[in-house]
């Protein structure tokens, strides 16, 4: 892997974040960079479960030197567009309120929208309720937003901003 902070390479960072939320808070502190794509990757097993961050920036960034074999694997997966949950990507800041699928595909780095649960796939005119929380994933070489059906023929991101913890604390 390349040294952290060099432009044009995908950098994997193993900063010890225990949750995606922690990793997202760290990513929010990165400066605004046009064309930046930053993803989270869940790592299960090994010495401890954690969240790895990958950063693909067209400009040099000052990043910590926090590599690991898991971070290197995540960077390779991001580079090959096989895995990674995008938190920051071109156009993400424009995704608030309700937008059409055409707007989403035309104004952001998201390349495809899939609806879980079968039925017709969305058209360019289908409306997406963003909930101001749109986290596409690298799947099959594309940045894909997984959605679910919402009221009124609309769709919404499958991932919600504040999910109920597993087992709901009971």
Full-model pTM: 0.88
pLDDT at 169 over 90: no
User: pLDDT digits over 14-54, tens only?
Assistant: 999 999 999 999 999 999 999 999 999 999 877 788 999 99
At residue 112, φ and ψ (nearest 5 deg) are: -155, 150
DSSP 93-143: GG--SEEEHHHHHHHSS--EEEETTSSPPP-TT-EEE-TT----EEETTEE
Distances (CA, A) of 2 to 5, 63, 71, 76, 132: 8, 12, 12, 11, 33
Counting runs of H as helices and runs of E as strands, what totals does the chain give? 3, 10
Whether residue 87 contacts residue 22, with contact meaning beta carbons closer than 8 Å, is answered with: no
Distance (Å, whole) CA 135 – CA 117: 19
**pLDDT tens digit string along 152-167?**
999 999 998 877 666 6
List the structure tokens of 74. 């995540």
Q: What is the pLDDT of residue 3?
A: 45
Give per-residue pLDDT as tens, 94-153. 999 999 999 999 999 999 999 998 778 899 999 999 999 999 999 999 999 999 999 999
Does the pLDDT value for residue 71 go beyond 80? yes
Of the candidates 82, 89, 119, 83, the one whose C-alpha atom is nearest the C-alpha of residue 104 is 89
- CA nearest neighbour of 133 among 164, 78, 93: 93
Structure tokens at 31: 């400066």
């Amino acid at each position: 892997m390349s040294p952290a902070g060099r432009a044009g390479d995908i950098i994997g960072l193993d900063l010890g974040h225990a949750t995606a939320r922690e990793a997202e808070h760290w990513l929010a502190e990165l400066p605004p960079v046009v064309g930046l794509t930053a993803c989270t990757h869940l790592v299960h097993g090994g010495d401890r479960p954690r969240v790895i961050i990958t950063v693909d920036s067209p400009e040099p960034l000052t990043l910590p030197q926090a590599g690991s074999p898991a971070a290197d694997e995540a960077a390779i997966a991001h580079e090959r567009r096989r895995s990674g949950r995008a938190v920051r990507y071109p156009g993400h800041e424009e995704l608030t309120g309700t937008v059409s699928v055409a707007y989403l595909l035309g104004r952001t780095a998201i390349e495809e929208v899939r609806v879980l649960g079968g039925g017709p796939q969305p058209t360019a005119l289908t409306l997406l309720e963003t909930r101001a929380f749109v986290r596409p994933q690298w799947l099959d070489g594309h940045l894909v937003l997984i959605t679910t059906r919402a009221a009124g023929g609309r769709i919404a991101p499958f991932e919600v901003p504040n999910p109920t913890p597993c087992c709901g604390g009971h």
